[in-house]
Amino acid sequence: MLESIKDPRDVRAIPAERLPQLATEIRQFLVEKVSATGGHLGPNLGVVELSIALHRVFRSPSDMIIWDTGHQSYVHKILTGRSTAFDSLRQENGLSGYPSRSESDHDLVENSHASTALSYADGLAKAWEQRGILGEQHVVAVIGDGALTGGMAWEALNNIAASSRPLVIVVNDNARSYSPTIGGLAHHLASLRTAPSYEKVIGWGKRVLNRTPVVGRPIYDALHGMKKGVKDVVAPQGMFEDLGLKYIGPVDGHNQADLEFALSLARDFNGPVIVHAITHKGHGYAPAEMDEADRFHGVGVIDPDTGKPLTSSGPTWTRAFSDELVAIGHDRSDVVAITAAMLGPTGLDAFAESFPDRIFDVGIAEQHAATSAAGLAYGGMHPVVALYATFLNRAFDQILMDCALHRAGVTFVLDRAGVTGDDGASHNGVWDMSMLQIVPDLVIAAPRDASTLRRALRESVDIADSPSVIRFSKGALPDPVHAIAEDRGVDILALHGNAEVCIVAVGAFARLGLDIAEGIRAQGIGVQVLDPRWVKPIPVALLDRAQDSNLVIVLEDGIRVGGVGAAISQGLRDRNNDVPVRNFGTPLAFLDHAKRAAILHSVGLNSQDITRFITEWMAQRNGAHSLHGEQAPSDYLK
């Protein structure tokens, strides 16, 4: 049956009694394809019936379905005619792991950051209202319970509820983000699932709603019966309806008929409606259902029958950080940790197990995480906030104004920094070193291996009067790279001859720097390789050593514009030194999904291209000097 689906119209043509067979085929297809390529398996297994129902009730792309954190859009892709491309899922030039505007008219947005769908939907509904087509065409936003912990989602709800514009919000409630969803909202959704008694609802209101800003007291008053009869108070949908949103549910998210009925009611209601669907992450696939950690949220290449990885991974950056933080926790009782709904993926699970009273999961709320961390610092603690590098972008204002302005001693640990690859443009963590260069007093460390990571973490938690950032790559730890000497905090990794060329190798690019040095050394060019370890501010020792070179090469796993290379160049100009600086980093562009190595090679971050550049530049420079006494033309460095 799956092979016959080329378009959502084919889904709508399937008799209702055959839909369970379609769901079974889709799950088998997902397990087969995703186990071969890796990807987000658990979330998609949980939304099979929901995706089918959405495409039977609504007419995509005339009706627009917007997926929050689009890793749950694989079934949507299958139903919109992209099943034949799944062998290339997350591969170079293949199918994206998220919605993609370039792939299909059925995809409106491709940002994979959470809690954004309701804002997109609100804006689209306003635009269609202005054009007079809202009502003829429907806007549907699908958001998970985990994403509803993000403040941006509630900002959007506040605006949506204040209007009468038709808009359907589907809450895909599986009680999880990466791991079980936490917080007051999670408690409320749990009460909706279980049809609680009056006393339980009131108890929840006392504990949680009074802590909810602005709307907390009105909602609690309503629940407590001040404005409603007892019958209405017991109705669990009160929280949403008091915001001005009609509520349908809870609905069994794996019952096709119930889903279609609920979605049809929502579609035909002339106003904003929430459809609350209860689903099970990993549904229908035993290995995922039995995985209590994250229900196979994201997997690598696995055995489709057992769910076991086909390749064993060695020590990782994440685990090295995790182990060292636990060791620090034993030494220092003031060190606490904050996660934004990613306890396991960021390596804070071990700290939580050792120190359960010193871990705070704030949900998908990076802005709150940063400012809450500042408050912890004001109170005499040293918080360590662990995030994926790409998600730090969401908290820039809080880092600038709430942490740095107040000189709060907060450590931000950025996992998956630099090019990450498979998950595409929105997951590459290439922005932080450029973005944070403009934050006064903040310091940044870029360790090159496990030992420098441990050292940087120890140093960072000793900083009490400014925020600090530690960034490291995705995946396996590289082999140790030992310094041959140290100059005022700068590690010297190699020194050959008179050091005509100075290579500054940032973080994970230490080995690349050494490979390049060997290549140009073979051409008779003197070279030194430096690892500053702390890349903001630029160490004085690095500038001292670089200014005596003929050419400075900077290798950084981030965008070149405004990054470490730019800071070194500015530092040398401030000394009235005009030594040429060539920055090798990622371009100012959104990089398509591919393996990390392939992306780095394509943007020129490889030993062969950079060695060739240096040898040709030095040859041209030396030739110019011998003929005219001039340096190489400046446009050669562009």
Catalytic residue numbers read: 281, 366, 394
Q: Calculate the alpha carbon distances from 117 to 157, 267, 270, 364 in Å.
A: 11, 18, 20, 14
Other Cβ atoms less than 10 A from the Cβ of 254: the count is 20
Cα distances from 292 to residues 48, 282, 288, 341, 364, in angstroms, run 20, 11, 8, 15, 20
E strands of 286-358, at which residues?
A: 335-339
Between the CA of residue 622 and those of 58, 285, 540, 619, what are the distances in Å? 69, 65, 29, 5
Helices assigned H by DSSP within 332-442? 349-354, 366-378, 389-392, 396-397, 432-435
What is the Cα–Cα distance from 47 to 277, expressed in whole angstroms?
10
DSSP 538: P
In the chain, the amino acid numbered 204 is: W
Report whether the peptide linkage leading into residue 250 is cis, meaning its omega lies within 30 degrees of zero: yes
List the 359-361 sheet strands across, edge first. Answer: 359-361, 335-339, 382-388, 411-415, 468-471, 443-445, 534-536
Between β-strands 534-536 and 443-445, what pairing exists: parallel, antiparallel or unpaired? antiparallel
- Other CB atoms closer than 10 Å to residue 612's CB: what's the count? 12
Q: Among residues 269, 266, 283, which one has the least CA distance to residue 173?
A: 283
Alpha-carbon gap, residue 153 to 182, rounded angstroms: 16
**Is-contact 149 341, C-beta < 8 A?**
yes
For β-strands 359-361 and 335-339, DSSP reports them as parallel
- Give the whole-angstrom CA distance, residue 473 versus residue 511: 14
Residues forming a β-bridge with 491: 486, 531
Rounded CA-CA distance 57/257 in Å is: 11
Inter-residue contact 468 to 383 (CB < 8 Å): no
β-bridge pairing 272-278 and 551-559: unpaired
Closest CA to 516 of 499, 506, 503: 503
- CA-to-CA separations, 478 to 257, 315, 446, 511, 520, in angstroms, rounded: 52, 9, 14, 9, 23
Residues facing 140 on adjacent strands: 65, 168
Could you report how far apart the first and last alpha carbons of the chain are, in Å? 55
Write the CA distances from 240 to 190, 220, 236, integer angstroms.
Answer: 14, 12, 9
And the tokens for 6? 């080329």
- Give CA–CA dist 116/364, Å, rounded: 11
